[in-house]
Amino acid sequence: MPGRKPSGPGHSPTRSGRGPREWIIRAADPAIEPDTGQTAEREPAMSGVPRLVIAAPGSGTGKTTVATGLMAALAERGLRVSPHKVGPDYIDPGYHSLATGRPGRNLDPWLTSEDLVGPLFRHGSAGSDLAVVEGVMGLFDGVAASPGGPGRHGHFASTAHVARLLDAPVVLVVDAAGQGQSVAALVHGFASYDTRIRLGGVILNRLSSDRHEEICRGALEDAGVPVLGAIRKAGEIETPSRHLGLIPVAERRAEAVRTAGLLAALVAGSCDLDALVRLARSAPASPGPVWSPSTAVTEGGAEPEGDRTRIAVAGGAAFTFGYAENVELLEAAGAEVVTFDPLHDESLPEGTRGIVVPGGFPEVYASDLSANVPLREQVAGFEGPIAAECAGLLYLGRELDGLPMCGVLDTTARMTSRLTLGYRDAVAVTDTVLTREGERFRGHEFHRTVCTPPDRPAFRWRGGADGYASGRVLASYLHLHWAGSPRLAARFVAAARRATHAAAE
């Protein structure tokens, strides 16, 4: 099961494609297929930066608070901190980016294959002094086992799995509310459950008093587990949430900046930063290949030409879900990636030859999206390739909760109270601008909307089907990470280039 929160970029978009590149890197995302190990650069191998993983016994114990606060506190010390998130979550990396000034990046063995976790980590952490990886759910919670499937050996794609792949020490954030000596039994269980995991220490959260802290520290000392931090209940900081988790940074930047500062102060005042840095530096050298977008797209069939083809990526508050590597792959394949905001921009960036509409919260902004008639009409008449996911699918349909959308697709959508989520092992049903019939893709769903079904879906998987496809459009609920199948970037840029040539004739 993927993380309970999807994530977004940490910079506000600007109009007509003139946004800062840091935001662009986090803004896009359409589709993938796992091709194990094919995209790792075989040139100079990095030994890896100091690193640690922030984990917990389960969700709701304070991982995001501690991880984001630690990133921000170390950055305030002058360290270049590389932020990472286990799983497919889109929102947490936006807060990580805000805390560190670097793109938040995901590490997900399911979406990209476990062979690419190390190379992607080395790519993302290049030039940093230290990397902090926030886990997902409980330490050992991953994909459920299935006969012959990737979860058959237990906790595949879990925080523990990623910690093993990175050879990184783990810090366990424990909610100590309502317990004393029992906290030692809990921690002992996590430390002994899988001895391949190196538990480097514990951060106690939600302590009620000095006496409570003393009891818990004493119990853990007897168990031989270092206490690296102790956070009081009064120190908890709430972050606004919505039906799919935290509210993305792009929607509340000023408040998010304030929250990041408060989290930095909380962690700096409650945790032993020096001990945490020493723990990160104790991670052994981990030499290996570094993922390279340029090498990846070449292996994926791209033939970059001299003139770059302009690809417009939807951004703004309504479309904030994206993976950094997707845009890097588009650029490596020969695209000039620009952003536009469907909430405010009345036209596509000049010279646009392809459109990517990522996920987000269009249902929250349906009225404003519908009111931007000039842009909707231009998108409806666009003759180049379009790739869309989840929120992008809703935007391209005829209606969303009764409000007119672009009408590119003959479907209507509405909000429901039912949450649809989970990893999907999908098969392409037909050839599209990105896929070829019979190709397999690993992705994830996370939404509370439903669409009128297509006559023929773009994807099928066990127990389900999804997606709308035509010669130039692919739109579905499936969120995909292109690093596992860089040929998708190559195909999309090639299709946009063909549109460029057609327009010139």
Task: Tell me if 400 sits within 8 A of 363, measured CB to CB.
Answer: yes
Chain centroid, CA 437 distance in Å? 27
Q: Provide the b/e sequence for 419-451 (b: ≥16 CB within 10 Å).
A: eebebbebebbbebbbbeeebebbbbbbbebeb
Say if strands 468-469 and 473-476 run parallel, antiparallel, or are unpaired.
antiparallel
Candidate list 216, 271, 390, 451, residue with the active-site label: 390
Annotate 188-233 with DSSP letters as a single string: HHHHHH-TTS-EEEEEEEEE-SHHHHHHHHHHHHHHT--EEEEEEG
DSSP string covering 233-279, please?
A: GGG-----EETTEEPPGGGSHHHHHHHHHHHHHHHHHHB-HHHHHHH
Residue type, 100: T
Helix residue spans in 314-382 (DSSP H): 324-332, 366-371, 373-380
Query: 376 with 346: CB under 8 angstroms?
Result: no
Instruction: Return the axis-axis angle of helices 324-332 and 117-125, rounded to nearest 10°.
Output: 80
Residue with token string 């905001």:
341
Neighbours of 197 (CB within 10 A): 24
Cβ atoms of residues 46 and 288 within 8 Å: yes
Tell me the C-alpha distance between 157 and 168, whole Å: 15
**Sheet arrangement for strand 468-469:** 335-340, 309-314, 354-357, 386-389, 473-476, 468-469
Q: Residue 388: in which H helix or E strand, if any?
A: strand 386-389
* Under 8 Å between Cβ of 104 and 83: yes
Partners of 46 in the β-ladder: 288
> Which long-range contacts (C-beta less than 8 Å, at least 24 apart) are formed by 194-197?
194/140, 194/155, 194/160, 196/164, 197/139, 197/160, 197/163, 197/164, 197/170
CA-CA-CA-CA torsion for 250, 256, 258, 264, nearest 10 degrees?
-130
- Give me the phi and psi of 454, to 5 degrees please: -75, 160
- For the question of residue 406 being annotated catalytic, the response is no
Decide: 140 and 304 in contact? Cβ < 8 Å. Answer: no
Q: Name 444's bridge partners.
A: 423, 479
Which positions are annotated as active-site residues?
A: 390
